[in-house]
Amino acid sequence: MRISTSVVGLAGFVAGAIGTHLATVHAQGPGVDVFQCRNYVLMDGAGHKRGEWKMDPSGQPVLRLFDAQGRVTWQAGKAGTQLLHEP
């Protein structure tokens, strides 16, 4: 169940980041309705990348989760959802 917890955590992080940014943008000026970013990176307390949400080289969105050693454990993209190795 670690994957499910990671997915929920990543979704919460993304929602929080978007909500925080949108509130800041609206406070700076009315009429801004779009939040844009090329990629999001989730880091753990030690500074290691544990997740990313970005565009792949072909222009398709991809979501990846990483283990403590930096290996991709789960990803979702155009090819579907894949569990790549057990954490």
- Residue 76: phi and psi, rounded to 5, are -135, 135
Query: How far is Cα of residue 22 from the mean position of the Cα atoms in its chain?
Result: 17
Which tens digit of pLDDT belongs to each residue from 33-84? 777 888 899 999 999 999 999 988 888 899 999 998 899 999 998 877 776 7
DSSP letter (8 states) at residue 37: -
pLDDT digit string, tens, across residues 7-34: 555 555 555 555 554 444 445 556 677 7
Q: What would the two tokens of residue 34 be? A: 């779009």
